[in-house]
Amino acid sequence: MDDRANSIYGGVFNEEVCVQFLTMCEKHLLSAFGELFTECKSKENWQSVLAECLGQVDTFGEPYFQTEVAKFLAINADGEELFRSSFIIFLKCMYNRPGGPCMHIRLTVPPFAFFMRTFLSEASIHPFVTTGEFFEPTRSPVDKKSTAVDVLRASLRHCTKEYVIAQEAHSDAPAPVGDAPHPWESASNAPQLEAPAPSPTQLSIEEQRSTCDPPSNGSVQSDLAASEKALGDTRLVPPEFKDLDRHLAALPQVKNPDKRSRSESGARSAFQVHLSSELGKRIEK
């Protein structure tokens, strides 16, 4: 493995769970935009056309990204769990810095649909994607993996900005106290009235498992050890997509509710259909 490959698997991608999630995301990136690349290749000035089409991704309505969530999870049954674990590990890498101050972190794990929109939007502006090089079969697998790393890191940073509040913890300040525990809280992670101040080598992590609201004073408080234990907890409440069935029924190509058979049959998602429509608009100009 050359130096470029070694540099990919550093930081958060030194953890197996993050490497597995990265592989899922790389494959999904190829799946989401590969068909558009193939269609554009037969057009005049295809790279410009490809870049223009990709430039519209951030303007797509939420239902189109919901269909990509459905496609991703149909292929990767543990995709949400790996995303949650990767997100928490990313926060540990970001804020548990040697020689840095002890941090108190309040977070809400983002809905997976928010991550998917962020991931595809970040990919749509990455130079290796907009030029089509990512989809060329002759390109090095290391270059493609490096592109997926760039996109995933940027996506996790964006999720952090939207769903995490990080403050320097002071040893003489009392630990934050949350509201009464919700029914899904266990006694072990319920807020405590008294807690020892975190040491300089620890993070204080306060998590709210709601997928709709940003961190608040009613968050569930836990220390780093509890958060690490939660990484393997399969009972965690997954993000809710309240209107997903209604959105899927209203969109082309997704009227069949069997997500797995749709994925295995190679049917195009509504996201891909919409990308093709953007291509048609630009060819008509």
pLDDT in tens, 214-242: 444 333 233 333 333 433 333 332 333 33
Does residue 3 belong to any structural domain of this protein?
Answer: no
Q: What is the structure's pLDDT at 25?
A: 98
Distance CA 238, CA 241 (A): 9
How many other CB atoms are there within 10 angstroms of residue 112's CB atom? 23
Least confident of 2-11, 24-33, 209-218: 209-218
Provide the domain limits for residue 155. Answer: 14-171+197-284
Does residue 159 lie in a domain region? yes
Q: Is residue 201 part of a domain?
A: yes
In a domain, 184, yes or no: no
Q: Does residue 158 sit within a domain?
A: yes
Does residue 213 form part of some domain?
yes
* 5 belongs to a structural domain: no
Q: Which residue has the higher pLDDT, 278 or 87?
A: 87
Count other C-beta atoms under 10 Å from residue 14's C-beta: 11
Rounded Cα distance between 245 and 262, Å, is 15
Is the pLDDT at 198 greater than 70? The verdict is no
- 189 is a domain residue: no
Q: Is the pLDDT of residue 125 over 60?
A: yes
Angle formed at CA 13 by CA 94 and CA 240, multiple of 5 degrees: 75
How distant is the alpha carbon of residue 24 from its chain centre? 11
Provide the number of structural domains found in the chain: 1
Identify the residue with better confidence: 98 or 109: 109
| pLDDT mean across residues, the chain | 73
Give the per-residue pLDDT at 203.
Answer: 56
| Mean pLDDT to the nearest integer, 256-282 | 65
Stated pTM of the model: 0.69
**Helix, coil or strand: residue 278:** helix
